C-alpha cells in the first residue's frame, strides 16, 4: 500500500520522525511478543507479572496500529508448544484474553477494531473461548483494524490441517489435484482471505520463527529488537515501520 500520512506526535518520544511523513505503511504487521518472562525475572517478579505487563503493551500497540493505518495486526499470544509450560502459567495466560477484553473491549469497539483469532480455537478452555467469541461477535461488523490473536496456534499444525481438508475436498470432487495451486492452498489456512504479513517483528533478541506463520511469511520483511515485549512501545514500533520503509521488496525479481 502506498500512501502518505502525517506522522502523529508521540507522547513517549522526542525522536525526529514525529514531524515527518510516512509512506508505504505495511498492511499487515505480525508480532512475536517475546521476553515477558525475562522482563519479570529482571525485576524479581513472577513470570506472570511479565505477561500482565505485556497485556498492557498489547493495548498500546493496537492503538498505535490504528493511528499508523495498519490494516491487520496479528499477535502471537499462545503457541501450540506453550502447553509445555507450568500449569499455573498456562492458566494465567488463558485468563488474559478475558481480562484484556473486560477492560478494553468498549474502547476497541469505539475505535472500530475487529477481533478475530487464528489457531485451534476449539481446544481452548471454555471461559477463554466464551470471552473471545463474545468479542468476535460484538466487533464482526467493524471495518477498522483487524486485531488477530494467534491463540493455540502452530504453523505446522495449520499446514497439516490444511492438507487434510484439501484431501477431503479432492475426495469430494470440490477441487482437483491439477488445479491446486498456492492461492487455493492459502484458502485452507487459518489466515484464509487475509493478505500475508508485510512486516514481522520479534522482540527480546531471539531471531527465530518459533512455528509462526511459516507459509505466510515467505516474502515478509523481518525486524528484530533486543527490547523485551513489556518494554516495547509506540516509539520502537515507529522505528520498525520506518525501517520497513527503507526495504526494497523484490519478491524474487530484480
Ligand atoms: C513469550 O514470552 C510470551 C508469551 C508466550 C505470551 C504472550 C502474551 C502476552 C504478551 C499477553 C497477551 C495478551 C492478550 C490480550 C492475549 P516468554 O514468556 O516466552 O518470555 P521469556 O522468553 O522471557 O521467558
Does residue 12 form part of some domain? Answer: no
Residue 233 inside a domain? The answer is yes
Query: CATH number for the domain including 31?
Result: 3.40.1180.10
Grid cell digits, residue 151:
491463540
171 inside domain: no
Q: What percent of the chain has pLDDT over 90?
A: 88
The answer to whether residue 253 sits within a structural domain is no
Q: What is the pLDDT of residue 167?
A: 98
Taking only the tens place, the pLDDT of each residue in 94-103 is 999 999 999 9
Which residue has its alpha carbon closest to ligand 1 atom 3?
A: 34
Does the residue 167 lie in any domain? no
CA 124 to chain centre: 18
229 lines ligand 1 (CB under 6 A): yes
Q: Is 33 in the pocket of ligand 1 (CB under 6 A)?
A: yes
Domain encompassing residue 31: 23-154+199-245
Q: How much is the pTM?
A: 0.92
Between the alpha carbon of residue 190 and those of residues 62, 68, 159, the distances in Å are 21, 25, 9
- The per-residue pLDDT for range 171-189, each reduced to its tens digit, is 999 999 999 999 999 999 9
Residue 193 domain-assigned? no
Per residue in 92-132, pLDDT tens? 999 999 999 999 999 999 999 999 999 999 999 999 999 99
Residue 212 lies in a domain: yes
Catalytic residue among 24, 34, 116, 211: 34
189 in a structural domain: no
pLDDT confidence band for 19 (50 / 70 / 90) = very low
**Exposed, middle or buried by CB within 10 Å (0-12, 13-18, 19+), for 10?**
middle
- Atom in ligand 1 nearest the alpha carbon of residue 89: 18
Question: What is the model's pLDDT at position 10?
Answer: 39
Number of domains into which the chain is organized: 1
Given 18, 24, 60, 82, the catalytic residue: 82
Amino acid at each position: 500500500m502506498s500512501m502518505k500520512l502525517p506522522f502523529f506526535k508521540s507522547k513517549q518520544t522526542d525522536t525526529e520522525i514525529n514531524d515527518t511523513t510516512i509512506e508505504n505503511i505495511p498492511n499487515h504487521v505480525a508480532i512475536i511478543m517475546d521476553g515477558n518472562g525475562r522482563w519479570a525475572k529482571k525485576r524479581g517478579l513472577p513470570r506472570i507479572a511479565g505477561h500482565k505487563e505485556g497485556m498492557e503493551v498489547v493495548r498500546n500497540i493496537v492503538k498505535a496500529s490504528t493511528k499508523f493505518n495498519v490494516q491487520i495486526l496479528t499477535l502471537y499470544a499462545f503457541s501450540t508448544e506453550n502447553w509445555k509450560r507450568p500449569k499455573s502459567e498456562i492458566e494465567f495466560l488463558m485468563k488474559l484474553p478475558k481480562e484484556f477484553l473486560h477492560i478494553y473491549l468498549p474502547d476497541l469497539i469505539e475505535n472500530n477494531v475487529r477481533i478475530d483469532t487464528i489457531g485451534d480455537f476449539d481446544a481452548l478452555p471454555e471461559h477463554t473461548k466464551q470471552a473471545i467469541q463474545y468479542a468476535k461477535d460484538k466487533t464482526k461488523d467493524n471495518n477498522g483494524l483487524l486485531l488477530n490473536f494467534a491463540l493455540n496456534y502452530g504453523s505446522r499444525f495449520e499446514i497439516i490441517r490444511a492438507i487434510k481438508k484439501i484431501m477431503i475436498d479432492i475426495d469430494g470432487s470440490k477441487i482437483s489435484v491439477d488445479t491446486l495451486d498456492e492461492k487455493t492452498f492459502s484458502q485452507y489456512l487459518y489466515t484464509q482471505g487475509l493478505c500475508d504479513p508485510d512486516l514481522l517483528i520479534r522482540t527480546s533478541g531471539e531471531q527465530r520463527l518459533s512455528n509462526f506463520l511459516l507459509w505466510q511469511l515467505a516474502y515478509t520483511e523481518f525486524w528484530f529488537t533486543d527490547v523485551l515485549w513489556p518494554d516495547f512501545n509506540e516509539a520502537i514500533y515507529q522505528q520498525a515501520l520506518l525501517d520497513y520503509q527503507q526495504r526494497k521488496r523484490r519478491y524474487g525479481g530484480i
